[in-house]
Structure 1
Amino acid sequence: MNNLPQRNYTDSKIEAEGGEPLRIELRDAENQHIVRGEGSSMKIQICVLHGDFEKEEDWTAEEFDKQIVIPREGKGPLLKGDKIITLKDGVAYINNVEFTDIIKGRTKQVRLGAKIVRPNSIGLDIREGRSEPFRVLHRRVKAYKKHDRPSMNDEVSRLRGIGGKLCDKLASRGIVSVKDFLQLYKTNEASLREKIGKIAEKSWNKIIAHVKECDVDDDDEEEERVKQHAYKNLNGLKQIAIDTTTHGLVETSSTSTSTGVQTAQYGGQDQTLQ
């Protein structure tokens, strides 16, 4: 069975470790075989449970429901996507479910739960399932992980010293990737500083020191050389004017320099869903 990672993030698809779809199985409580017959095509509802739900697998349906986490005031449901899935031959996959909000609750951890929709309609005793506990963090925590050595295709938020409002500000000005940032820094540092706005010199130096560590491949290096060469040539062009008296060409300026589940387990007297 596949397991959930210890950390999950808002607005990211819930997946098992290794990026595999999260798998749920309906198993017989006695021999743990996957149930293929009666009850193997039921609908299952995915929910969020408190992480300290430690009771052994002999809970009642009422006890299980009391462990379901209530969204924070003013917030919507904790999960979005396909929260109702259908078993097929005793197996179902969670493919399109995301957390919408961080969850603090009684502990810093939560569990995923799964319960049969309308359990009394099939006349079987099927216990709900739950995952091992894990944490749910805001997506920005994931986005702002800073690489020791950023790459050109990383989001600009991967650079040390860039985050939150500054990241959004740069994106609105067309600077989305580390590559965008580095190109503008090398070709027009003044323009980059203007786009960033007021920033402490220490913070600026921190950002630049990190972006200079960027992992640049050969194609990127060649592209950078071509762009810088073109920019220098443009800045170095002599301005030409026509003398209206002699119709001769006169030079008027010189060159200038250029300036980043665990399986939900279901047990029951008749069957177990894992």
Structure 2
Amino acid sequence: MAAKRLFDDSDNDHSDQSNPKRIKTTKPTFASVIKEVVTLNFLENFCSSLEPMLRRVVHEEVENGLRRNLRSLTKAPSLRIQAIDELPTLQLIFNKKLLLPIFTGSKITDTESNHLQVVLVDTRGDGKVPAFLPCSLKIEIVVLDGDFPAGDSENWTNEEFDKHIVKERTGKRPLLAGELNAIMRDGLCSFGDIEFTDNSSWIRSRRFRLGAKVVQGTSAAGQVARVRPAMSESFVVKDHRGELYKKHYPPSLDDDVWRLEKIGKDGAFHKKLSAEGVNTVQDFLKLNVIDPQKLKKILGLGMSEKMWEVTLKHAWTCNMGTKLYMSRGSNYIIILNPVCQVVKAVINGQHYVLRDLKMMNKGYVEKLAQDAYANWKSLEEIEGQVNETALLTMGEIGDQVPNHQQPKMGSSYQGGQALLLDGSTNQMASIANNEQVTYNDWGLNCSYLWTPAQNSGRYFPESSSEGDLH
């Protein structure tokens, strides 16, 4: 019995050692479960609230470190040059310069009176080559201070550009109105109507610039930093009331005479000219061609020689257009440009072009021009370019002058009284009405003879009146 009990006890001990968990495991209480859940929830909430704070702190520290490093880089001249060289190679530019002057409430256009266009270019190398991006960009037009950048330097950053953007004055409308945003595709974008709502007199420089920049967040990652903004030349924005009195460059023949330099609207010169029937730029130039001394007398002593020169040069920049005028007489037909300068003539059936008119009797041709001026309203209008007409061959005028023979230039006209000299002799010539003149009497530089302008499109007459200006 004792042996059996000993065996049973040892068997129980072995069973207890092989299953220790069953002996030590106790059922959790309700309080312990609640405590554990509360602890887990606290840790989870604490971590979720701590994460954004840690992210913000790390972000700020990284930015501060970058600023410190950039500041230390720019202190060294060699490193500053390296930083400049690393400026973006892609740049926005305005396709054409702005049309000046600019007034409030008036549409801003380029020099060809078209809407503004912005182009993307690559500035690497010697020139600016059109560039293209695989994605579209949203471009915005902004106003910049006219003093930026200092000395018109090209070494500025996008951040400096943004710092010099000008906003409207307190209590005023936005400085620019209209279609200020456009989508750039294939390296080009066009804007609609844009206008200033305020003048530039209230900022220190009294001048603005227009800028074009990529709008943040509208392009693929990294594209904004790679594209340099566009910047126009500096300019003054005037109040729209000044537009009513502005001069035209160039003036047109139909413009009021006060559109010319040195002649103010409703001023003394304007009133004097109007009293004599000189109301338009065309009237001004016609009288200057026929009788420049009379024109200067009308203006009076208040018009100095220097002012006269400025006014006259401005007037001669006008576009002559395509109209020509024909004056007919019993034995002649002359063709004149819109300011009463003789371009061609048919006298007694003989055809003369500009180079031949210069060798004719000065007084006779001048008399024809004066008669045409006196009867200007009765002249026949014909179409034709002034430049082309002056260079036509002799026979081409016959299309507008019927029933006349067209002999070759340089030969005498056997059926009439006109003899044409070739310029190589001093013989006499009988022009119209048997007037006898010598070669020395012929005027080679006459204001009533049209002279083609060279290159610039300006029309400066070869006249003795222009010599009076000096």
Q: TM-score, length-normalised on structure 1?
A: 0.53
- 1:19 and 1:111 mapped to 2: Cα distance? 18
Tell me the SS of whatever aligns to 1:111: strand
127, 147, 150: which one aligns with 2:228: 127
* 1:78–1:99 Cα contact (<8 Å) kept: yes
Higher helix share: 2
Q: For the Cα contact (< 8 Å) 1:14–1:94, is it kept in 2?
A: no
Counterpart CA distance in 2 for 1:35 and 1:146 is 39
| Correspondent of 2:148 among 53, 59, 64 | 53
The answer to whether residue 22 in structure 2 is matched with residue 22 in structure 1 is no
Aligned to 1:69, which of 141, 144, 166? 166
Shift, 1:140, TM fit: 2.1
Corresponding position of 2:131: 35
Distance 1:121 1:73 in 2: 32
Q: 1:25 to 1:207 in 2, by over 3 A?
A: closer
Residues 151, 5 of structure 1: alpha-carbon distance in 2 compared, 3 angstrom cutoff: closer
Instruction: Tell whether the 8 Å contact from 1:115 to 1:128 is kept in structure 2 after alignment.
Output: yes
- TM-fit CA distance, 1:157: 11
Question: How far has the Cα of 1:128 moved from its partner?
Answer: 1.7
- TM-score in terms of structure 2 length: 0.33
Task: Verify the 8 A CA contact 2:245 2:265 in the aligned structure 1.
Answer: no
1:213 aligns with 2:308: no
Return the alpha-carbon distance in structure 1 between the equivalents of residues 122 and 246 of structure 2: 43
Read off the aligned partner of 1:5 and give its amino acid letter: L
Report the CA distance between 1:95 and its aligned residue.
3.3
1:75-129 alpha-carbon deviations (Å, 9 max, x no partner): 1111111001121211112331111111121212211011111257412221222
Say if 2:99 and 2:113, in contact at 8 Å, map to a contact too: no
Distance of 1:9 and 1:109 partners within structure 2? 12
1:90 maps onto 2:196 in alignment:
no
Distance 2:149 2:214 in 1: 20
What letter is aligned with 1:46? I
Which stretch of structure 1 is more off in the superposition, 56-65 or 102-111?
Answer: 56-65
Look up the equivalent residue of 1:127 and give its one-letter code: R
* Alpha-carbon distance in structure 1 between the residues aligned to 2:200 and 2:99: 16
One of 215, 227, 233 as aligned partner of 1:117: 215
- Tell me the distance in 2 between the aligned counterparts of 1:58 and 1:49: 16
Relative distance call for 1:83 and 1:146 in structure 2 (3 A) is closer
In structure 1, give the amino acid aligned to 2:137: M
How far did residue 11 of structure 1 move?
A: 1.4
In structure 2, what is the Cα distance between the partners aligned to 1:27 and 1:150? 37
Give aligned-pair identity as a percent: 34
- 2:99 corresponds to: 5
Written as runs of structure 1 = structure 2, the 5 A alignment for 1:122-271 is 122-123=220-221, 124=223, 125=225, 126-145=227-246, 160=264, 208-211=271-274, 212-215=277-280
Q: Which residue of structure 1 lines up, in the alignment, with residue 177 of structure 2?
A: 80
**Contact 1:81–1:97 (8 Å) recurs in 2:** yes
Secondary structure in 2 matching 1:115: strand
Match of 1:69, SS state, is coil
Partner of 2:430: none
How many residues align? The count is 178
Counterpart Cα distance in 2 of 1:81 and 1:143: 22
Equivalents in 1 of 2:178, 2:234: separation in Å? Answer: 21
Q: Per the alignment, in what secondary structure is the counterpart of residue 129 of structure 2?
A: coil
Q: Partners of 1:47 and 1:87 in 2: how far apart?
A: 16
Please report how far the alpha carbon of residue 34 of structure 1 lies from its aligned counterpart in structure 2 after TM superposition: 1.9
Gaps of at least 5 residues in structure 2 are 1-94, 284-376, 379-470
CA distance in 2, matches of 1:93, 1:62: 25
Counterpart Cα distance in 2 of 1:53 and 1:161 = 36
Alpha carbons of structure 1 residues 10 and 38: separation in structure 2 relative to 1, 3 Å? same
Q: Per-residue deviation at 1:153?
A: 7.6
**3-state SS, counterpart of residue 142 of structure 1:** helix
Q: 1:210 & 1:139 partners in 2: Cα distance?
A: 27
Counterpart residue number, 2:200: 103
Q: Secondary structure at the match of 2:228?
A: coil
The residue type paired with residue 88 of structure 1 is R
List runs of 5+ in structure 1 lacking aligned partners: 163-202, 223-274
RMSD: 3.5
Measure the CA separation in 2 of the matches of 1:92 and 1:58.
25
CA distance in 1 between partners of 2:210 and 2:217 (Å): 19
SS of equivalent residue, structure 2 residue 209: strand
Task: Determine the C-alpha separation between the residues in 2 that align with 1:64 and 1:34.
Answer: 22
Give the 3 Å change call, closer, same or farther, for CA 73–209 of structure 1 in structure 2: farther
Q: Give the drift of 1:38.
A: 1.9
